[in-house]
């Protein structure tokens, strides 16, 4: 066995496999029910517990470290970033501390910290009652955003356009607090923040920090559907060189300000009339398969670097790797209701440039109204000579893949791939 070990928290099987491929041994911390025979073949030890509960994790990790001596901890999922920070602090492993991980998870804490250190930010305040919404609008103007303090997947984001919408916004907060969602264990909808709305197109920056040195690997252009749920992404972003440099500089300044010293980051921003403004950031690879777009476009495996760097097979690049090709993704949607039939999937998968078409519904499944990223029903990934070409292929797939919902009896249709 290798003398070097990594503790991996959660994530998909590929996390473990990529660490092993780089010559590392793996100790694995995962939720009960998520451990498979494939995991068992790859890891030295596995601890199947609720890793969101630090009172459970702390003694287990302390004992495991004495036995297995892992030298680093890694996670690729949002649910694991805070516990990874706690483990770094507990065992003195370096990397991102819990304080920094929490600062990125808690959007109010992030805004307050940026203001305290004199970094670029926007006004923000916690929403404790309807009066707090009214006070924020009076102090900072309209429109403004209301969202969960530590939410993900675009769930619960609202745009309050004027005083007449304050009541509805407060009612919606009450609904969200009383609601159940599939990941409520990790992302409870209890605290909310109001912050000034930033006008402008959306981007994200995929970066990796090597011992305090931030390398911007990709600038991703975000495609939205008007209700804050992302409809797609494309790399490289279709912006000019000066704008790209301004975006990169804003993100590097932000990462320094919040204290990121190691590992992956996914930083979302808008290009406002006054320049780039960071909306939020995460010390893990971007979701929505952005890591796959980065690898297809630049050959940089964000997931492998997250779980295995430093190691001989993963050199720290001096700067952004050269562009190989453009890569894009679009998400499939359908009208709410029960799926009666699906058409065109096999034909869409055969189109030139299509890397993957993942359709998550079939006849008889129910399609929910689109309120968060979790309500999307599928995803296509495509590559092309440039961003327009990759997106055009995605659009062709979305147009030719038809998910029909209705009240009639559900039927399976040949050629759907389901």
What tens digit of pLDDT does each residue of 171-223 get? Answer: 999 988 887 755 556 667 789 999 999 999 999 999 999 999 999 999 999 99
Distances (CA, A) of 400 to 303, 345, 348, 373: 31, 8, 7, 22
Residues 165-180: pLDDT tens digits?
999 999 999 988 887 7
Q: List the domains of the chain with CATH numbers.
A: 5-94 (3.40.50.20), 123-196 (3.30.1490.20), 202-322 (3.30.470.20), 328-406 (3.30.470.20)
Residue 41 CB neighbour total at 10 angstroms: 10
- Pick the residue with more confidence: 404 or 151? 404
Q: Which residues pair with 22 in a beta bridge?
A: none
- Residue 342 · residue 367 · CB < 8 Å: no
pLDDT at 409 over 70: no
Residues 75-97: pLDDT tens digits?
999 999 999 999 999 999 999 99
**pTM of this structure:** 0.91
Per-residue burial over 57-75, b = 16 or more CB atoms within 10 Å of its CB, e = otherwise:
beeebeebbeebebebbbb
**pLDDT at 410 (0 to 100):** 40
**pLDDT at 1 (0 to 100):** 42
The residue behind tokens 């009208």 is 335
Cis previous bond, 72, omega within 30: no
At 404, list the tokens. Answer: 């029909």
Between 54-63, 99-108, 406-415, the lowest mean confidence (pLDDT) is in: 406-415
């Amino acid at each position: 066995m290798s003398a070097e070990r990594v503790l991996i928290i959660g994530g998909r099987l590929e996390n473990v496999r990529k660490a092993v491929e780089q010559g590392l041994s793996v100790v694995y911390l995962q939720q009960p029910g998520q451990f498979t025979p494939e995991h068992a073949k790859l890891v030295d030890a596995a601890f199947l517990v609720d890793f969101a509960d630090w009172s459970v994790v702390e003694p287990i990790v302390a004992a495991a470290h004495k036995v297995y001596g892992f030298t680093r901890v890694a996670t690729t999922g949002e649910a694991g970033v805070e516990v990874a920070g706690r483990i770094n602090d507990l065992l003195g492993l370096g990397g991102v501390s819990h304080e920094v991980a929490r600062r990125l998870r808690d959007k109010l804490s992030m805004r307050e910290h940026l203001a305290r250190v004199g970094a670029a930010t926007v006004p923000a305040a916690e929403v404790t009652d309807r009066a707090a919404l009214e006070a924020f609008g009076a102090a900072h103007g309209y429109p403004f955003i209301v969202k969960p303090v530590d939410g993900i997947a675009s769930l619960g984001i609202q745009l309050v356009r004027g005083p007449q919408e304050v009541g509805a916004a407060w009612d919606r907060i009450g609904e969200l607090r009383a609601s159940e969602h599939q990941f409520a264990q990790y992302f409870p909808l209890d605290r909310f923040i109001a912050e000034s709305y930033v006008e402008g197109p959306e981007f994200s920056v995929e970066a990796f920090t090597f011992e305090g040195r931030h390398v911007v690997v990709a600038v991703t252009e975000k495609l939205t559907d008007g209700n804050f749920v992302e409809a797609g992404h494309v790399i490289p972003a279709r912006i000019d060189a000066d704008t790209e440099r301004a975006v990169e500089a804003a993100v590097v300044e932000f990462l320094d300000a919040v204290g990121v010293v190691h590992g992956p980051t996914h930083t979302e921003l808008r290009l406002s009339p006054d320049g780039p403004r960071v909306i939020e950031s995460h010390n893990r690879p971007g979701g929505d398969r952005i890591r796959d777009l980065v690898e297809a476009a630049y050959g940089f495996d964000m997931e492998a670097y997250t779980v295995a760097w430093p190691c001989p097979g993963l050199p720290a690049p001096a700067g952004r790797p050269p562009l190989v090709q453009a890569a894009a993704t679009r998400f499939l949607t359908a009208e709410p209701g029960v799926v009666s039939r699906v058409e065109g999937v096999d034909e869409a998968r055969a189109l030139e440039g299509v890397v993957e078409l993942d359709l998550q519904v079939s006849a008889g499944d129910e399609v929910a109204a689109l309120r968060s990223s979790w309500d999307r029903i599928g995803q296509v990934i495509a590559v092309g000579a440039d961003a327009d070409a990759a997106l055009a292929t995605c659009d062709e797939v979305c147009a030719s893949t038809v998910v029909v919902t209705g009240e009639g009896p559900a039927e399976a249709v040949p050629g759907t791939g389901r």
